[in-house]
Structure formats: C-alpha cells, structure tokens
Amino acid sequence: MTTTVITGIGELVTNDPARTEQGGLLGLVHDAAVVVEGSRIAWVGPAAEAPAADVHVDAGGRAVIPGFVDSHSHLVFAGDRSGEFEARMTGEPYSAGGIRTTVAATRAASDEQLTSHVARLVAEMRAQGTTTVEIKSGYGLSVHDEARSLAVARQFTDETTFLGAHVVPSGITPEDYVDLVTGPMLAAAAPHARWIDVFCEDGAFDVDQARTILAAGSDSGLRGRLHANQLTYGGGVRLACELSLVAVDHCTFLSDLDVESLSDSGTIATLLPGVEFSTRQPYPDARRLLDAGVRVALASDCNPGSCFTSSMALCIALAVREMRMSPAEALHAATATGAGALGRDDVGVLAPGKAADLVLLDAPSHVHLAYRPGVPLVAGVWQAGRPVV
C-alpha cells in the first residue's frame, strides 16, 4: 500500500479526544506531520519525528484540518428557485410551499439529469473541503420518484436519507399520504437509504404524524432524524429527544424545555445557519445550546429553496459571527460533531485508523475559515487517502 507523509503542517486540527489536554477542543498539534497509508491515517505527530513514506508532501507551514462532514443536504433536485429567493429579499416570507415547485421539476427530470446535477454539486462541495455528505430525497414524493432519488444519491454516498415526508404533495389527503409514505414508498425507498427524516413543522407534518413515520422507518431498519423547529416553536425537538434520535436539525426556535431535553437526551442539535442567512430568519443561539451542554453540529442544508450554499466554510463563518460560536467550536461542529450526527466515528477526526480525509488550507490556522469569510482557502483535499483537489 502506498504511504504518503505530509510534513510542514503549521497547525494540525486532529479533533482527537486524546489530544485535547494539550491541544484544546480541536486537539491541535503544531509543526506536525501526518502519514497516510491507503485510505487510512497511519500516524500523527510532530514533524521532527515523522517516519519516511513513499510520497512526501510539504504543507509549507499551512494548516491541515479533517474534511468537513456535511450531515444535512438535499442535492437530488431539478429546477431553479432564484426567483423565490429574490422575492424573499424584497420582503416575501419563506414558506414550505415552495418545495412543490421543485417537486414538479424533479419529477420531470430524467435519471441522467438528476445524476449529473448531483455529481456537479458533490464536486462543488469536495472542492470546498467536504469529504462526507449526507443526501436526502424529498423532491420526488411519489413511490417511483422517491426511490429513484435515493438510488441517484446512493451513487455518491452511503449516508442517504428517505424524506418522503417533506410536504404533502397536491392531489392526496395528508392521511392517505402518510399511509403511502409508511407503506409502499418506504418499501421502495428503504433498500437505498440508511436514514428516515420528517419535516415536522406547521404546513408539513405534525408530531403525531412524524412519530408514526419514524416508527415505520425504524421497523424497516432505517434510523431516524428530524427537521424540527425551523419556522415555529413546536414539539419536534422534544420528539427527537424522546426517541433518542442521533440528531435533530434546524433548531431555530427553541424553548427552555427544548434545550433541556436536548442536553438530557444527548441528541445532537444540527444548526444550519445558511438557512437563516437565505431566509432572513433570526439565527439560532448556539451559545445557549453549548452552555447547556448540548452537542452542536453545523451543516449546509444545501437545497434549492431555503439555502442554496454548498460551503461549510460559510456556515462556520456565520456560526462564529452570528451564533456566538468560537472558531474552534464551529470547526469542531462542522467535522467531528457532524460525523456524530451521522453516527460515525471514522471520519471528522485525524488519528491513526481513521479515514484519511484531509484538507490543506491556504492559511496558517483554522481561525482563517471565519476570519476570511468568502475567500476560497482550500488548497488541497485528500479523500480516503487519494488527492482529489
């Protein structure tokens, strides 16, 4: 197996819990080196002690971080909703109803069109340092279109999520649609999915419906996650905690009871600040969650409606500027805790045995991700040990 040593790393973010005593939350190592063997990390430590390897890369004093783990995206879609965004920026509110516009365009697209569109977006993410991405269905909303959306997503990631319960499509009652989602649609989707998700919100699905859908998913071997408390206070976050889901996403409108439930259950709150940016909503208060002991992840929610960014660096910058996270907390949330939100511990951490998913920044430290917002800082990406950027 080929080995590669990266030396001259001015600042290495390991996220390794064994290194937090000296290296803080991010387990920082200065003047570091990393050895990659095949698809895994073989060695991490001071550059002066690095073993030899087949290939040598000099980072030139720059920073290396784990690849971003984007635990929430909706990449399988067709069409464009820039007009809806434009209207929002002149005062229209965001509503879940816009989803139906994308459903019509997605149903009309061929498998090839959907596949090439997802390929383009995944490449766009990779070029910005994302090495693990979760992809949801949710713009098909028929048995055929949900199954093929997931089959397309599966070509790009193992972290696929069945979101047939995104909104109730036109032409069917909510009761009949929940029956469809928990019956034939779930049966067609489950072979292509690891997760099941529900948009639990006014105008989408209520807590009882979400409970029914998550239970059916669990019976089919899918793990649950939820979109909750995005537009209103509601019971979604508490349902996620009651069911001990690994993550609940959005968490924009939280009562004290919601925060308490999150800290008691250990369910990760995945915040999606690109959504607040793109919908002009108030940002969730990450500090309040962190101070209460809640684990916080950051993800892009890349989708054509509420937030069409694929940039985890933008999410980090927003989290630092608008949500009172420190640069270290935000990067940790976009890597190690993002991995936790997918039930993974093999990515998001740079330590021996972990996936060799690394990003070389054109910057001396991770702080530049928030300090230099909007600047492309990714100088190189290795995914499973292979240089891909």
Interacting residue ranges for ligand NIG, rule: CB under 6 A: 74, 98-99, 102, 199, 227, 230, 275, 301, 303-306
Q: Which residue is nearest to Fe ion (CB)?
A: 301
> Residue 308 or residue 382: which is nearer to ligand NIG going by CB?
308
Burial of 362 (0-12, 13-18, 19+ CB in 10 A): middle
Single-letter code of the amino acid located at 147: A
Tell me which residue of 108, 98, 195, 99 sits closest to 148, measured CA to CA.
108
Residue 98 interacts, among ligand NIG, Fe ion, none and using kind-specific CB cut-offs from 5 to 8 Å, with ligand NIG
> Residue 65 or residue 245: which is nearer to ligand NIG going by CB?
245
Residue 304 interacts, among Fe ion, ligand NIG, none and using kind-specific CB cut-offs from 5 to 8 Å, with ligand NIG
The Cα–Cα gap between 267 and 75 comes to 24
> Closest approach of Cβ 230 to Fe ion, in Å?
8
> Closest approach of Cβ 296 to Fe ion, in Å?
16
The region of 55-63, 84-92, 175-183, 293-301 touching Fe ion under the rule CB under 5 A is 293-301
Farthest CA pair distance, the chain: 67
Tell me which residue of 21, 36, 13 sits closest to 334, measured CA to CA.
13
Q: Which residue is nearest to ligand NIG (CB)?
A: 305
The region of 109-117, 280-288, 300-308, 368-376 touching Fe ion under the rule CB under 5 A is 300-308
Angle between helices 111-127 and 143-154 (to 10 degrees): 40
Tell me which residue of 219, 225, 282, 217 sits closest to 254, measured CA to CA.
282
C-alpha 268: how far from its chain's center?
12
The Cα–Cα gap between 233 and 237 comes to 9
> Residue 10 or residue 304: which is nearer to ligand NIG going by CB?
304
Residue 99 interacts, among ligand NIG, Fe ion, none and using kind-specific CB cut-offs from 5 to 8 Å, with ligand NIG
Token pair, residue 357, equals 């998913």
Residue 137 interacts, among ligand NIG, Fe ion, none and using kind-specific CB cut-offs from 5 to 8 Å, with none
> Residue 99 or residue 317: which is nearer to ligand NIG going by CB?
99
Q: Say whether residue 301 binds Fe ion (CB under 5 A).
A: yes
- Footprint on this chain of Fe ion (rule: CB under 5 A): 301
